[in-house]
């Protein structure tokens, strides 16, 4: 069992989870993830590492299904059944490049260790985060610390630029030279960003989130088609070249258990709240 | 000793097929004490036993059987445990028909002694007697071994080394110990409680178990070697193969590993009480002819399928699955489509598999494995409806350790190369055995490799000579 040091709602539906661990930090690198399981009956789910030190690891998650509902109910001192990592390949590092980093939703948290690592490697980091409205944006100060330029985008215009992230992306790429685009967020955001950068021919690295079970390369549920070839998200990824991803396949594979997920959540809530 | 030899094995009672396809409860019941004694008395107690060389872990087979024949069950299990830390497991899943029982002298005229059933009996009897006694442990040698993977091989190395006074820590990637015994082999063939009991025994013998630890990621082998004198790699064959045919990434198509891991380790058959879901298909095709394919097919039936087919490219004669497993599958109503090869899957508008295109095969000349090679029959393609398909065509070793251990010599199938006589790898202080060396083999061969390596590790720890 692993002790919860902190669970904090950062913005509506998005939570930070800090779990005690003295093993994971040693090899942890930006872009990697952990697998967590709430309790003995729980499902194994992958969450990006957003930070780590010699006593703990931190993850950001969106409350959406049974597992994340269970995590959202945790408080300091509680325990979770499984914590294993770091898993996946770390973000491929570059030196002295100009990198445009985009994040949305839980991906804003996932962006944090990556821009920190990019900055530490003397890259020029341009960070842009997106949300529907101002009250859904978070961690601006933490991100600014490692960003040379920083942008906020809201769809309703309540904070920063108004519009979608791809509106910003179009405009930025039209007027600025960029070596690499890096994107963390939901599948729609990573897809949209990749399609926006494609005509510019700028390499675009996206963090994907296919369904996983063991997350060590054993089961193959996380298979994604990259440049026509089947790869495993957990050990070959989770980051891939967005211009090579078969998005239609990824979007459909993400929905394999949609029906069961809805059923599971209503079952859990009935059991818990009657 | 019976004056006249009973020609046939004492039968083992089983749950009837119509009842068992609705549950994940174990199929065979095991012997009663009376049945066990009757069967044990069939053993001739040969002066020079022919059966023992057939056992990869060198169990004193006539020895433990004699105790049963005399009604001394405690003596029997003690004798078994001298050589085997997993008797309840091996009694159930070893292919005895190809090993000890094949070499039994009775087979010249009759059925062999039911060694496996007797082994299972002794272990199950012990489980009914409360906490099992632990052997007296020697003084600690102060040497430490890291065992990677809590599967049958890792558990055997841990047992052997702790018995001679070395400290052992097992590192397991998953949240439960047992490896393939827990994620792969279904409850109806090997109840999880059986494995946990045997692992618990090792822990009581002083073995340390670290779960949720992925060697190659959480720590590399080189990092482990700073804290340990020796490392045993028993990480199994965890990388599933796919056929690389069109449509294989449609929804509803599983690797055997995923299908079984969901059903067994994650208990998806108890969804929604357990959170992990599994597709409960109505028309299920399982591709492959081994024990894993049989496990998938029988799991699919228990998950409520109307029709489950084993699709195998050779004929029944070449099936690598144990006869007992095929027989159980037939009794339960599995349909066998031999000499058939899937070539393509077709999906519906939501990207769910709805059809499978197959090709009929015929048998040609023998190939490298000595089995006749399947050859496609031109133009024999046909289409059949499926809503779930499980690919059980084999697996190769997981690459996480090879990728992060540059001085470990790797074979062309991604397997770690290890010396047959010692289990030594190309890296000083590292041994390997089981499926990570052999590719997909059996539980007992992994345990045999582990025994060989444990001897070599013990010698190294005592002498320091590599």
Residues B304-359 have pLDDT tens digits of 999 999 999 999 999 999 998 999 999 999 999 999 999 999 999 999 999 999 99
* Cβ contact B238–A221 (<8 Å): no
Question: Please, which residues have CB within 8 angstroms of residue A141's CB and are 6 or more apart in sequence?
Answer: none
Which region, left, alpha or beta, applies to residue B48 given φ > 0 means left and ψ of -120 to 50 means alpha? beta
Over 70: is that where the pLDDT of B2 sits? no
* Cβ contact B266–A43 (<8 Å): yes
How far apart CA B65 and CA B70 sit, in angstroms, is 9
Look at A110-114, B119-123, B379-383, B394-398 and tell me which has the smallest mean pLDDT: B394-398
The domains of chain B, with CATH numbers, are: 17-127 (1.10.1060.10), 144-238+396-463 (3.50.50.60), 242-393 (3.50.50.60)
- Whether A42 contacts chain B with CB within 8 A: yes
Distances (CA, A) of B142 to B2, B138, B162, B203: 50, 11, 11, 18
* Cβ contact B214–A235 (<8 Å): no
Residue A146's DSSP bridge partners are none
* Cβ contact A81–B175 (<8 Å): yes
* Cβ contact A218–B271 (<8 Å): no
Distances (CA, A) of A243 to A71, A190, A207: 34, 10, 13
Domain A2-87: homologous superfamily in CATH: Translation factors (2.40.30.10)
Q: Count contacts between A and B (CB, < 8 Å).
A: 121
Largest CA distance in chain A: 57
Q: Provide, rounded to the nearest whole percent, the portion of chain B with pLDDT above 70.
A: 99
What is the complex's ipTM, to 2 decimals? 0.94
Say what the pLDDT of residue B5 is: 84
- Whether B223 contacts chain A with CB within 8 A: yes
* Cβ contact A235–B272 (<8 Å): no
Give the mean pLDDT of A33-44: 97
How far apart CA B451 and CA B57 sit, in angstroms, is 7
Work out the mean pLDDT of chain A and round it to a whole number: 95
User: Peptide bond preceding A128: is omega within 30 degrees of 0, i.e. cis?
Assistant: no
- Whether A235 contacts chain B with CB within 8 A: yes
Q: Provide, rounded to the nearest whole percent, the portion of chain A with pLDDT above 70.
A: 100
Flag whether the pTM goes above 0.80.
Answer: yes
Q: Is A98-209 in the same CATH topology as A2-87?
A: no
* Cβ contact B249–A37 (<8 Å): no
How far apart CA A67 and CA A40 sit, in angstroms, is 12
Nearest CA in chain A to B259: A219
Residues B39-54 have pLDDT tens digits of 999 999 999 999 999 9
Q: Which residues of A touch B223 (CB under 8 A)?
A: 26-27
Nearest CA in chain B to A38: B275
Give the mean pLDDT of B403-425: 93
**What's the pLDDT band for A83 if we cut at 50, 70, 90?**
very high
Give the mean pLDDT of A130-135: 95
Which pair of tokens denotes residue B450?
């582990």
Over 90: is that where the pLDDT of B22 sits? no
Q: Nearest C-alpha of chain B: how many angstroms from A264?
A: 6
Which pair of tokens denotes residue B204?
């009581």
Alpha helix stretches (DSSP H) within A91-201: 107-120, 140-144, 165-175, 187-197
- In chain A, what are the domain boundaries? 2-87, 98-209
* Cβ contact B218–A83 (<8 Å): no
Helices and strands of chain A, counted as H and E runs: 8, 16
Nearest CA in chain B to A65: B275
- Report, at the CATH architecture level, how domain A98-209 is classified: 3-Layer(aba) Sandwich (3.40)
| Nearest residue to B280 (alpha-carbon basis) of B304, B249, B248 | B304
- Whether B140 contacts chain A with CB within 8 A: no
Residues B169-208 have pLDDT tens digits of 999 999 999 999 999 999 999 999 999 998 999 999 999 9
Say what the pLDDT of residue B3 is: 60
Say what the pLDDT of residue B433 is: 96
Nearest to A217 among B175, B248, B400 (CB): B400
Residues B126-177 have pLDDT tens digits of 999 988 888 888 899 999 999 999 999 999 999 999 999 999 999 999 999 9
């Amino acid at each position: 069992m692993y002790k919860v040091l902190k669970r904090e709602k950062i913005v509506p539906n998005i939570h930070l989870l800090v779990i005690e661990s003295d093993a994971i930090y040693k090899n942890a690198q930006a872009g990697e993830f952990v697998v967590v399981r709430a309790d003995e009956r729980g499902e194994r789910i992958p969450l990006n590492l957003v930070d780590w030190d010699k006593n703990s690891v931190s993850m950001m998650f969106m409350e959406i299904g049974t597992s994340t509902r269970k995590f959202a109910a945790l408080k300091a001192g509680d325990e979770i059944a499984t914590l294993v990592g770091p898993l996946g390949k770390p973000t491929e590092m570059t030196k002295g490049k100009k990198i445009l980093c985009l994040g949305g939703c839980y991906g804003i948290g996932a962006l944090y260790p990556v821009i920190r690592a990019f900055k530490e490697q003397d890259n020029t980091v341009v960070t842009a985060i997106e949300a529907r409205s101002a009250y859904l944006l978070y961690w601006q100060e933490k991100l600014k610390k490692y960003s040379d330029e920083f942008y906020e985008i809201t769809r309703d215009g309540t904070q920063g630029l108004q519009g979608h992230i791809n509106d910003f992306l179009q405009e930025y790429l039209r007027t600025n030279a960029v070596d690499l685009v890096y994107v963390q967020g939901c599948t729609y955001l990573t897809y949209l960003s990749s399609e926006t950068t494609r005509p510019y021919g700028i390499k675009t690295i996206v963090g994907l989130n296919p369904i996983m079970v063991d997350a060590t390369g054993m089961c193959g549920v996380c298979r994604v088609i990259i440049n026509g070839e089947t790869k495993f998200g957990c050990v070959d990824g989770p980051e891939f070249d967005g211009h090579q991803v078969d998005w239609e396949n990824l979007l459909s594979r993400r929905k394999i258990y949609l029906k069961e997920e809805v059923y599971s959540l209503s079952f859990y809530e009935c059991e818990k709240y009657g | 000793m019976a004056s006249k030899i009973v020609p046939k094995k004492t039968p083992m009672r089983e749950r009837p097929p119509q009842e068992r396809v609705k549950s994940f409860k174990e199929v065979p019941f095991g012997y009663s004490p009376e049945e066990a004694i009757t069967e044990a008395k069939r053993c001739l107690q040969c002066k020079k036993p022919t059966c023992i060389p057939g056992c990869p872990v060198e169990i004193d087979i006539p020895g433990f059987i004699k105790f049963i024949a005399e009604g001394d069950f405690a003596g029997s299990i003690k004798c078994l445990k001298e050589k085997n830390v997993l008797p309840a497991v091996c009694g159930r899943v070893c292919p005895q028909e190809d090993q000890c029982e094949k070499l039994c002298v009775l087979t010249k005229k009759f059925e062999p002694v039911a060694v496996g059933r007797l082994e299972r009996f002794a272990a199950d009897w012990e489980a009914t007697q409360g906490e099992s006694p632990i052997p007296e442990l020697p003084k600690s040698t102060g040497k430490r071994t890291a065992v990677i993977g809590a599967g049958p091989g890792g558990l055997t190395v841990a047992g052997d080394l702790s018995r001679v006074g070395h400290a052992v820590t097992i590192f397991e990637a998953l949240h439960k110990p047992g490896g393939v015994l827990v994620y792969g082999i279904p409850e109806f063939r090997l109840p999880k409680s059986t494995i946990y009991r045997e692992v618990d025994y090792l822990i009581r013998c002083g073995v340390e178990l670290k779960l949720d630890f992925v060697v190659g990621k959480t720590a590399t082998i080189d990092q482990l070697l700073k804290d340990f004198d020796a490392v045993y790699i028993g990480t199994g064959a965890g990388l599933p193969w796919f056929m690389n045919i069109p449509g294989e990434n449609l929804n509803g198509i599983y690797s055997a590993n995923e299908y079984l891991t969901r059903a067994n380790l994650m208990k998806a058959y108890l969804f929604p009480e357990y959170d992990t879901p599994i597709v409960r298909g109505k028309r299920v095709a399982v591709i492959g002819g081994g024990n894993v394919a049989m496990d998938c097919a029988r799991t699919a039936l228990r998950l409520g399928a109307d029709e489950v087919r084993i699709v195998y490219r050779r004929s029944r004669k070449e099936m690598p699955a144990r006869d007992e497993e095929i027989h159980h599958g037939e009794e339960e109503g599995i349909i066998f489509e031999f000499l058939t090869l899937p070539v393509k899957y077709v999906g519906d508008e939501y990207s769910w598999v709805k059809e499978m295109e197959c090709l009929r095969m015929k048998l040609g000349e023998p190939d490298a494995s000595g089995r006749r090679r399947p050859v496609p029959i031109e133009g024999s393609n046909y289409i059949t409806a499926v809503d779930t398909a499980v690919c059980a065509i084999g697996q190769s070793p997981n690459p996480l350790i090879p990728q992060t251990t540059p001085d470990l010599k790797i074979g062309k199938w991604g397997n770690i190369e290890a010396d047959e006589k010692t289990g030594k790898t190309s890296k000083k202080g590292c041994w390997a055995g089981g499926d990570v060396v052999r590719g997909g083999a059996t539980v007992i061969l992994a345990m045999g490799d582990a025994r060989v390596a444990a001897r070599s590790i013990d010698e190294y720890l005592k002498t320091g000579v590599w």
